[in-house]
Structure 1
Amino acid sequence: MPQIDMPYAQLQTYSGINPKPADFEHYWDQALAEMRATDPKVELIPSSFQTPAAECFDLYFTGVGGARVHAKYARPRGASEPHPAVLQFHGYTGSAGDWNERLAYVSLGFSVFAMDCRGQGGSSEDAGGVKGNTHHGHIIRGLDDKPENLLFRGIFLDTAQLASIAMDMKEVDETRVYATGWSQGGALTIACAALEPRIRKAAPVYPFLSDYKRVWQMDLAKDAYEELRGYFRRFDPQHKREDEVFTRLGYIDIQHLANRIRADVVMGVGLMDTICPPSTQFAAYNKIQSRKRLEVYPDFGHEGLPGLHDTIIQFFLSEE
């Protein structure tokens, strides 16, 4: 079998090389305390898009730092009993997408919450206000400021805050809230399940934002990770601060959050992925301590994985 990364047997034990900051756990405990102290000021506005089966709303809440975050919320029309819910997270630079992408789950009796990431392609705000470079990418946004100002800290917290809001909805069964997403959405699925341990099931697919130093080592700081190369070329061309930079990025490296997950996990990976290399994905997966399984696609890269959407639906429908 051709390979672009480690042999599969090695991937199964790989534990990542990006440094984990010494105060990582304290950093995220403090971040969660800040999130819980934030009044979300939840607002539901009926959408112009409605169907006979789905009641649709634009949901807004205030996240850490004061940004108003938007999510599309669709629920089964007329459902009177608490029912399961799915949180959906989109790919890098994208948005929650069209309403029709929510309807399959609604037809199965799920409420669906699809979040727009701050400052990307949807309707959520980016409150800004960081020092240093903000050019070409959210991984490096805030990198030259305090660690608390890394943009992905706020985005990760938004996923957990949305989960908490969903669980507080009277129509949602708080014991059956699930999360899923592909690429950046896969990373946010892992972050959400890590920061909100009440998430029951999580289905990340080829997650982004993991093991940054490994990406660099493989000379794959291009495409979705291009901003890493751009940052060094502009601000540290001789890599004198390389250790400092990768350690700072460790605060927003999902592999270091993964051991907090309590959800059951099904994760999809393509072994020919040159956008989010398989080893970086396994660095996170191998740290998950809850019940988990992989759906492996040996000949596929960062693309559609046949049958996986169906597998995820069946996973969420299962009573196991």
Structure 2
Amino acid sequence: MPLTDLPLDQLRAYRPEVAEPEDFDDFWAKTLAAARAAESGPAEYRRIADAPLTGVEVYDARFPGWAGQPVAAWLILPRGARGPLPVVVNYIGYSGGRGLYIEHLLWSAAGYATLVVDSRGQGHDTPDPHQETSPQYVGGFMTRGLDDPANHYYRRLMTDCVRAVDAMRGHPAVDPDRVVAAGASQGGGLALAVAALAPEKVAAALVDVPFLCHFRRGAELATTGPYPEIAHYLGVHRRTDPDAVFAVLNYFDGLHFAPRATAPALFSVGLMDPICPPSTVFAAYHRYAGAQKDIRVWHFADHGGGRASQPYEQLLWLRGRGLAADG
């Protein structure tokens, strides 16, 4: 697979200017305030008594998300660990959900609590009652609600992700000062958004090969994955003004979240990534406001990035930030 974007020296200098919505902060402040006001009750955790695992305790969780609607998650705690524990709130890649709890044991093996957040409408356990059926919908989630940022799918999903952090900070097994937002691809973009929308609640962000960054360049360069949904939509609706479409997407772009995030952050990028072009990742990384930030560059990697090597890097990096589970 060839390089998909700029050479590394140009990527390290790539700092595009993308105008942000004037009401960006007000839009998100009102969105999150409405979600918190709609909360009908606390998060619920049902222990999976017959989980065939000896090293962890598993809970089928539901916490209030967008409009107070219940969002499914797995809470996985290392068995016998003395709390309060640091927690990794893990967000999932595009078109996936929380899956099976047995798929998410790495962080508990390292001594962390883990919350694996289902993605509304993408997983099997959290429906999206507000699913758009308007002409803006074209084969995926990127174009759901393109008529108005208030209607867009990612307004709901990103709200769910912030509310997951709210839920974890109130759990008795968790140290509220050691909440880590983490994910790869879509999950990486969501972790970046959460770090910006709840900066006082997130102690660190693990932003792995992030999607949802620099939408316009992604739509122009990506050859597979979700970004081409935007190009396909604009190709079909030829009379639609592209600037109007990207003006809506700007409310959900990691380029605008990054300057508002201050927690220590570890990014990663694959230079042969056809799904999230490396320039989209570097554009967000360069704008990230946290003083303690770093990026792992995987030169001969596609969208898998560092694969199993990246979690190893993340564990060492968290230890260096004083966020190890035994710290």
Q: In the alignment, residue 150 of structure 1 is paired with which amino acid? A: H
Deviations 1:175-204 (A, max 9, x none): 111122111111111111111212111111
Task: Check conservation: 2:269, 2:305, Cα contact below 8 A.
Answer: no
Corresponding residue number in structure 1 for 2:271: 271
Which of 202, 210, 220 is the equivalent residue of 1:199?
A: 202
Corresponding residue number in structure 2 for 1:165: 167
Matched, 1:135 2:138: yes
- Tell me how many residue pairs correspond in the alignment: 315
Deviations 1:156-189 (A, max 9, x none): 1111110111011111111111122111111111
How many Å separate the matches in 2 of 1:164 and 1:86? 13
Deviation at 1:154, TM superposition (A): 1.1
Unaligned runs of 5+ in 2: 323-327
Deviates more, 1:79-88 or 1:6-15: 6-15
Runs of 4+ residues over 3 Å off in structure 1: 16-19, 317-320
Unaligned runs of 5+ in 1: none
Task: Check conservation: 1:202, 1:264, Cα contact below 8 A.
Answer: yes
Deviation at 1:319, TM superposition (A): 4.5
TM-score when scaled to structure 1? Answer: 0.91
Which of 109, 112, 123 is the equivalent residue of 2:111?
A: 109
Deviations 1:10-63 (A, max 9, x none): 222323355422221221122222233231632212224252221111111222
Corresponding residue number in structure 1 for 2:325: none
Corresponding residue number in structure 2 for 1:52: 54
How many Å separate the matches in 2 of 1:86 and 1:216? 31
Deviation at 1:221, TM superposition (A): 5.8
How many Å separate the matches in 2 of 1:15 and 1:153? 26
> Cα 1:304–1:268, aligned 2, differ >3 Å: closer, same or farther?
closer
TM-score when scaled to structure 2? Answer: 0.90
Corresponding residue number in structure 1 for 2:66: 64
Q: In the alignment, residue 216 of structure 2 is paired with which amino acid? A: K
Deviations 1:123-162 (A, max 9, x none): 1120225462333111111112x32121101111111110
Which of 206, 215, 219 is the equivalent residue of 1:216?
A: 219
Deviations 1:84-142 (A, max 9, x none): 11111111001223323332322332110001100002311202254623331111111
Corresponding residue number in structure 2 for 1:296: 297
Matched-pair identity in %: 33
How many Å separate the matches in 2 of 1:292 and 1:12? 14
Deviation at 1:217, TM superposition (A): 3.0
Corresponding residue number in structure 2 for 1:35: 35
Deviation at 1:302, TM superposition (A): 0.8
Task: Check conservation: 1:141, 1:151, Cα contact below 8 A.
Answer: yes
Corresponding residue number in structure 1 for 2:281: 281
How many Å separate the matches in 2 of 1:25 and 1:60? 28
